[in-house]
Amino acid sequence: MAVLPRPRPAVINWRLTSVFLLSTGISATWGCGEYADPPQPPISNVGEGSGLMLPPGFKPVDLPLENRKLIFQEAHRIRALAVLEANEKLPMDEASLPKGDTPAFDKRVADHKAIIDGILEKNLANLAEQKSLTLEDLSKIEEEARRLRWVPPQEPRWEREKAAGK
C-alpha cells in the first residue's frame, strides 16, 4: 500500500495579514469622525426625473421651480426676439454678407452682435425689474436651465410679434 503525501497545511503569512488589517483599519477611520461633514449630494431636478444634476456649489434662485421655468421661458423669448430685431436692422442672410472681404465680414458680425447686446441689455433688465430679480439672479436661472437642459419654448415669429406690438 502506497503512502500518499499529506497535503501541506495552509501557512498564514502574518506580515501580509498584518498589513492588510492595518490598511483596512486606517481606511475605515480616515476622514470619518464626529467632526467630518458628510458630502452633500448634488441638487437634482426632481420635477422632471431627468437624472441631470446641478454642481454641488450651485445654489438656485430662491423661487419655486415653476416660477424659475416661466422666467427662463420669458428670457429665452427675449433673446430670440433680440436676434430677430437685429436681423431686421442689419440683415445677416447670405445675400447681405460681404463675400471675399474678411475684415468687412468680421465688422458686420461685430456690429450685429453689438446690436443684439444692446437690445438684450435693455430688455433683460426690464424683465429682471418686472420679476423683482437682479440680473445676476436672471443669469443664474438661465444657467440652471442650461445645465438641467430645460426645454425652451417655441421660437417666436418676428411678424407675429411685430403685429402684436411687442
Tell me which residue of 80, 83, 75 sits closest to 143, measured CA to CA: 75
Helix (H, G, I), strand (E, B) or coil at 44: strand
Backbone angles phi, psi at 154, to 5 degrees: -60, 145
Task: Tell me the three-class secondary structure of 96-126, residue by residue.
Answer: CCCCCCHHHHHHHHHHHHHHHHHHHHHHHHH
Comparing CA positions, the residue from 89, 92, 76, 113 lying closest to residue 162 is 89
Query: Residues 15-43: what's their mean pLDDT?
Result: 57
pLDDT at 130 over 60: yes
Distances (CA, A) of 132 to 30, 37, 64, 103: 47, 35, 14, 42
* pLDDT exceeds cutoff 60 at 31: no
Instruction: Decide: residue 81, CB within 10 A, 0-12 exposed, 13-18 middle, 19+ buried.
Output: buried
Query: Is 77 within 8 Å of 164 (Cβ atoms)?
Result: no
Place of cell 503569512: 13
Rounded to an integer, the average pLDDT of 40-55 is 58
Q: Are residues 141 and 68 in contact, defined by beta-carbon separation less than 8 angstroms?
A: yes
162 and 88 Cβ atoms separated by less than 8 Å: no
- Quote the pLDDT of residue 23: 65
Identity of residue 137: D
Q: What is the pLDDT of residue 155?
A: 84
pLDDT bucket at 44, cuts 50 / 70 / 90? very low
Going by C-beta distance under 8 Å and a sequence separation of 6 or more, which residues neighbour residue 145?
68, 69, 72, 76, 152
**pTM, rounded to two decimals:** 0.63
Q: What is the pLDDT of residue 115?
A: 96
Beta bridge partners of 44: 53
Residue pLDDT, tens place only, 59-104: 889 999 999 999 999 999 999 999 999 999 999 988 888 889 999 9
Please give the grid coordinates belonging to residue 106: 468680421
